[in-house]
């Protein structure tokens, strides 16, 4: 797909790092599957992955995590 940010690049399958915050919890997740623009690097994450990421930050917040770095696990 054409990148909606730079409007010049095409996206391709790749990985990105996502940072999520929920209250005092900051969760950094590396290796998240995404469509990544070859021109500007903007990453697009699909709905299924987004739902998994949001559930993960909710779990981390409920466990009292302050700051944590994790790898994405499908």
Question: pLDDT tens digit string along 39-65?
Answer: 999 999 999 999 999 999 999 999 999
Residue 18 maps to a domain: yes
Closest-CA residue to 43 (of 20, 64, 13): 13
Residue 4 maps to a domain: no
The boundaries of the domain holding residue 36 are 11-71
Residue 32 maps to a domain: yes
Residue 1 maps to a domain: no
Q: What is the pLDDT, as a whole number, of residue 61?
A: 97
For residue 36, pLDDT beyond 90: yes
Who's near 22: CB < 8 A, 6+ residues apart? 57, 58, 60, 61
Residue 2 maps to a domain: no
Cα–Cα distance measured from residue 21 to residue 27, given in angstroms and rounded to the nearest whole number = 6
Number of domains in the chain: 1
Q: What is the pLDDT, as a whole number, of residue 24?
A: 96
Residue 64 maps to a domain: yes
Task: Report the CATH number at residue 57.
Answer: 3.10.20.860
For residue 74, pLDDT beyond 90: no
At 16-35, the pLDDT tens digits run: 999 999 999 999 999 999 99
Residue 6 maps to a domain: no
Q: What is the pLDDT, as a whole number, of residue 10?
A: 96
């Amino acid at each position: 797909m054409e990148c909606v940010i730079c409007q010049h690049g095409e996206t391709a399958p790749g990985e990105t790092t996502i940072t999520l915050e929920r209250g005092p919890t900051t969760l950094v997740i590396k290796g998240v599957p995404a469509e990544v623009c070859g021109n500007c690097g903007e990453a697009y994450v699909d709905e299924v992955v987004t739902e998994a990421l949001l559930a993960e930050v909710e779990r981390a917040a409920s466990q009292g995590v302050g700051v944590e770095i994790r790898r994405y696990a499908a």
